[in-house]
C-alpha cells in the first residue's frame, strides 16, 4: 500500500472504529441502551499537509507559501545529491524542489547525524517511509518538494535511506549559520 493510499484509508478506519465502539458499548444500568463513545479521528491526511505539527531540535516543517527561497536538488543514481552542500541562515524557511533523475527510488531526509543514523537503521531493518515531516520519498523519474524552517545554527545532513544508499555516501551537508 502506498503512503497516499494509507493516508486516504486512515479516516475511514477511524470512522469504522468509532461505529464499532458505539455499537458495542452499553450503559451500566443493564438496560441495554447504547451509550456514545467519543472517538477523535485524525483527518489530517485529507488536508493536503503531509508535515504534521512536529518540531525537531534542528527545525520544523515550513509553509511553502512563506518560503524565503527555493533550492532545486537532483537525486542521482551515483548515490549523490546535486548540489551536495547548502548554507542556510537560522530562521530561514527553504523549499527544496527535489528531482529524482535516476532509475532508483531515493529519499530526502533532513536531520542531524543522530536522526540520520536512526532513520537509516530503521530502513535497513525493513522499515518504510512513513509520514516523517522531515523526509520525502521520490520515485525514479519523479519530483517532489519539502519545505523546512531551520531554527537553530549547526551542521545537518540530508541523507537518502533507501537501504545501502546512505552507507554508499548519498549525503549532502547543510550548514545552518547563526
- For the stretch 87-96, pLDDT in tens is 999 999 999 9
- For the stretch 3-21, pLDDT in tens is 434 343 444 434 333 333 3
Distances (CA, A) of 165 to 127, 133, 141: 14, 20, 17
pTM above 0.75, yes or no: no
- For the stretch 48-106, pLDDT in tens is 333 345 669 999 999 999 999 999 999 999 999 999 999 999 999 999 999 999 999 99
User: H-helix or E-strand containing 121?
Assistant: helix 113-124
**131, 133, 129, 130: which is closest to 148 by C-alpha?**
133
Amino acid at each position: 500500500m502506498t503512503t497516499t493510499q494509507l493516508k486516504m484509508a486512515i479516516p475511514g478506519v477511524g470512522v469504522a472504529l468509532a461505529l464499532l465502539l458505539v455499537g458495542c458499548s452499553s450503559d451500566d444500568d443493564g438496560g441495554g441502551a447504547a451509550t456514545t463513545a467519543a472517538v477523535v479521528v485524525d483527518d489530517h491526511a485529507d488536508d493536503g499537509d503531509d508535515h504534521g505539527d512536529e518540531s525537531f531540535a534542528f527545525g520544523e516543517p515550513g509553509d511553502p507559501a512563506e518560503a524565503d527561497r527555493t533550492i532545486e536538488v537532483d537525486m542521482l543514481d551515483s548515490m549523490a545529491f546535486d548540489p551536495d552542500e547548502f548554507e542556510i541562515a537560522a530562521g530561514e524557511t527553504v523549499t527544496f524542489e527535489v528531482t529524482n533523475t535516476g532509475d532508483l527510488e531515493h529519499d530526502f531526509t533532513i536531520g542531524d547525524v543522530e536522526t540520520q543514523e536512526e532513520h537509516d537503521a530503521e530502513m535497513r531493518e525493513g522499515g518504510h517511509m512513513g509520514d516523517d515531516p522531515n523526509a520525502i520519498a521520490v520515485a525514479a523519474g519523479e519530483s517532489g518538494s519539502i519545505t523546512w524552517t531551520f531554527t537553530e545554527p549547526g551542521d545537518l545532513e540530508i541523507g537518502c535511506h533507501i537501504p545501502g544508499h546512505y552507507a554508499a555516501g548519498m549525503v549532502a551537508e547543510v550548514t545552518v549559520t547563526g
